[in-house]
């Protein structure tokens, strides 16, 4: 039995349009609501892999929902309800065309660029002599453009964002403040769970003149976590860090000759590989939420989602 949700095609009451992203399918309802369905698709290097990961959508949605609830004191967010374990419904906002990436450590794509000799990322200077997985003295913000479907996000500096009119200077200052405060909150929560929040991304939108946090937050798709235990020893010895994030998927792909380049083929995702990825997501879910996760066995996830979301919309009078 395939218990992964790979695609959706719902016809909710009041449906205006739908956007199918790499992982999330976002349904616009009327003029004010969005219904975001978090599928079990998984992407890396901006490529959607051919097989889904059982339970991934529910885990991502529940992690994001918990963090949206716990950060309302920092900034307003778009969430209104979770009508289904794989669905968040909320306010429709006009998204800013940039993503705010906060980095506490030098790793991942930033480290790969550093190894090529780059010493400035998004206009932020990175000093010589740093090592992989080294902690920055203070976290840095390295924004990217929010690319259209099928295109890659691109690094961009604060100055270029403002000069190109992508975000006003006033709004950008608020995005920076919100992003840093959200990151520090995430660091604190992760620390209580024996984890280090290494880096993460945030997306924001605007509605009625108010800036809102939108989309997901602090999930393994948008964030990288290290285990705090053993971090210093591994760093001093130059060993890879034990981590819980999607980076292990990227590393598996690279080890098998795939980085999303033209002509490259996605390596075979065997049942063992899929199960291993699912287990890593479960491990992070349980660590970061403190709750157990049990994989469901529904025969038809689409029917359940349609039923639950339709009932929520009915109760709202949509």
Structure tokens at 202: 């945030």
CA dihedral 122, 46, 262, 255 (to 10 degrees): 90
Instruction: Write out the residue limits of the CATH 3.30.200.20 domain(s) in the chain.
Output: 15-93+272-316
The pLDDT profile of the chain, 318 residues, written as one tens digit per residue, is 458 999 999 999 999 999 999 999 999 999 999 999 999 999 988 899 999 999 999 999 999 999 999 999 999 999 999 999 999 999 999 999 999 999 999 998 899 999 999 999 999 999 999 999 999 999 999 999 986 654 567 899 999 999 999 999 999 999 999 999 999 999 999 999 999 999 999 999 999 999 999 999 999 889 999 999 999 999 999 999 988 777 778 889 999 999 989 899 999 999 999 998 899 889 889 988 989 998 877 778 999 999 999 999 999 986
Answer yes or no: are the C-beta atoms of 214 and 205 closer than 8 Å.
Answer: yes
Answer yes or no: are the C-beta atoms of 54 and 298 closer than 8 Å.
Answer: no
Task: Say what the pLDDT of residue 283 is.
Answer: 86
Length, in residues, of the chain: 318
- As a CATH number, domain 95-245 is 3.30.470.20
Q: What is the CA radius of gyration of the chain?
A: 19
d(CA 315, CA 308): 11
Instruction: Write out the residue limits of the CATH 3.30.470.20 domain(s) in the chain.
Output: 95-245
- As a CATH number, domain 15-93+272-316 is 3.30.200.20
Task: Say what the pLDDT of residue 317 is.
Answer: 80
Task: Say what the pLDDT of residue 1 is.
Answer: 43
Residue 253 is classified by DSSP as: H
């Amino acid at each position: 039995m395939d218990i992964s949700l790979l695609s959706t095609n719902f016809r909710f009451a009041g449906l205006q349009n739908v956007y199918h992203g790499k992982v999330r399918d976002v349904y616009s309802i009327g003029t004010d609501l969005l219904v975001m369905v978090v599928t079990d698709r998984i992407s890396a290097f901006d490529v959607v892999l051919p097989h889904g990961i059982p339970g991934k959508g529910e885990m991502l949605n529940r992690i994001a929902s918990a963090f949206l609830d716990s950060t309302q004191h920092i900034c307003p967010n778009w969430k209104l309800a979770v009508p289904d374990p794989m669905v968040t419904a909320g306010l429709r906002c006009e998204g800013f065309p940039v993503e705010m990436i906060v980095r506490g450590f030098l790793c991942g794509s930033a480290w790969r660029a550093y190894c090529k000799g780059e010493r400035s990322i998004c206009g932020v200077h990175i000093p010589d002599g740093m090592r992989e997985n080294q902690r920055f003295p203070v976290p840095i913000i390295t924004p990217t453009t929010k690319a259209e479907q099928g295109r890659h996000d691109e690094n961009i500096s604060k100055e270029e964002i403002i000069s190109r009119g992508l975000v006003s200077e006033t709004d950008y200052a608020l995005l920076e403040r919100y992003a840093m405060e959200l990151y520090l909150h995430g660091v604190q929560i992760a620390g209580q769970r024996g984890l280090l929040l290494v880096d993460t991304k945030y997306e924001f939108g605007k509605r009625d003149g108010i800036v809102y946090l939108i989309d997901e937050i602090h999930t393994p798709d948008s964030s990288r976590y290290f285990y705090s235990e053993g971090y210093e020893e591994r760093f001093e010895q130059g060993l890879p860090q034990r981590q819980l994030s999607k980076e292990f998927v990227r590393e598996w792909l690279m080890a098998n000759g795939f980085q999303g380049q033209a002509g490259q083929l996605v390596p075979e995702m065997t049942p063992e590989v899929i199960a291993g990825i699912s287990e890593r997501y479960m491990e992070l879910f349980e660590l970061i939420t403190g709750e157990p996760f049990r994989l469901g066995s529904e025969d038809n996830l689409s029917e359940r989602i349609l039923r639950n979301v339709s009932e929520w919309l009915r109760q709202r009078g949509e």
